[in-house]
């Protein structure tokens, strides 16, 4: 992969158990923590980071699983300064349909005023209230993430986290949409030697 490749999709498949905590649940939690530490280590070399979370809210996701996904988002963002000059966030949720619930990657009313507290309020008051239902349209969700990334900052590092409990079961295979994200280019002059990979 060259420095001209502008995006890597970091897929974190969250296996969301429906029962009480088991050793498998604990393993998943530990893997999630390790992912957060690796992400932080890779992305703390620059203050500008654009992060897109793509969250599965299909019918196979339990309410407990849905809350676990949102807690992952909150936990990861604890390590970053969320505001217009540092880390900007977008959240795409999907089931049979897809919606962009938060998009602070492009300039505008929310992105210019967003911080961690206001973002958490938006998650708590709007996104957390959504109920899981329907099919798993991962291709469509990645297409919306692609849309969001097109308007993100050219000099920011990028990351896309896809959290799902299973396979896509409606629409085309998501591989093409993931490749489309990988082929995006924001900054042809990114200094990988000095700043590390953009994504």
In a domain, 4, yes or no: no
Residue 46 in any domain: the answer is yes
Determine whether 182 is exposed, middle or buried from the number of CB atoms within 10 Å of its CB (0-12, 13-18, 19+).
middle
Any domain includes 2: no
Question: What ranges in 78-137 are assigned the alpha helix state H?
Answer: 109-113, 116-122
Cα torsion 31, 168, 175, 71: sign: negative
CATH number at residue 134: 3.40.50.410
Q: Is residue 1 part of a domain?
A: no
State the pTM of this model: 0.79
Q: Which domain holds residue 162?
A: 9-195
> Is 3 part of a structural domain of the chain?
no
Of 186, 181, 107, nearest to 147 (Cα)?
181
pLDDT in tens, the chain (199 residues): 333 233 333 433 333 333 334 455 566 667 766 776 777 677 666 678 899 999 999 999 999 889 989 998 998 888 888 988 889 999 999 999 999 999 998 777 566 678 889 999 999 999 999 989 999 999 999 999 999 998 888 888 888 999 988 788 888 888 888 888 877 777 777 776 766 655 5
Contacts of 44 (CB under 8 A, 6+ apart): 79, 80
What domain count does the chain have? 1
């Amino acid at each position: 992969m060259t420095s001209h490749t502008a995006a890597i999709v970091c897929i974190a498949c969250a296996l969301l158990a429906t029962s009480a905590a088991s050793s498998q649940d604990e393993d998943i939690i530990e893997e999630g923590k390790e992912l957060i530490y690796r992400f932080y280590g890779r992305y703390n070399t620059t203050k500008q980071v654009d992060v897109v979370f793509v969250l599965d809210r299909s019918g196979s996701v339990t309410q407990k699983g849905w809350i676990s996904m949102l807690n992952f988002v909150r936990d990861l963002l604890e390590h970053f300064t969320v505001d217009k000059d540092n880390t900007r966030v977008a959240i795409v949720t999907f089931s049979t349909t897809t919606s962009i619930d938060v998009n602070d990657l492009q300039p505008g009313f929310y992105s210019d005023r967003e911080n961690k507290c206001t973002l958490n309020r938006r998650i708590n008051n709007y996104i957390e209230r959504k109920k899981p239902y329907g099919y798993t349209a991962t291709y469509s969700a990645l297409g919306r993430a692609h849309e969001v990334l097109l308007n993100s900052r050219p000099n920011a590092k990028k990351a896309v986290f896809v959290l799902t409990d299973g396979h896509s079961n409606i629409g085309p295979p998501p591989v093409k949409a993931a490749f489309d994200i990988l082929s995006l280019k924001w900054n042809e002059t990114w200094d990988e030697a000095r700043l590390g990979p953009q994504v």
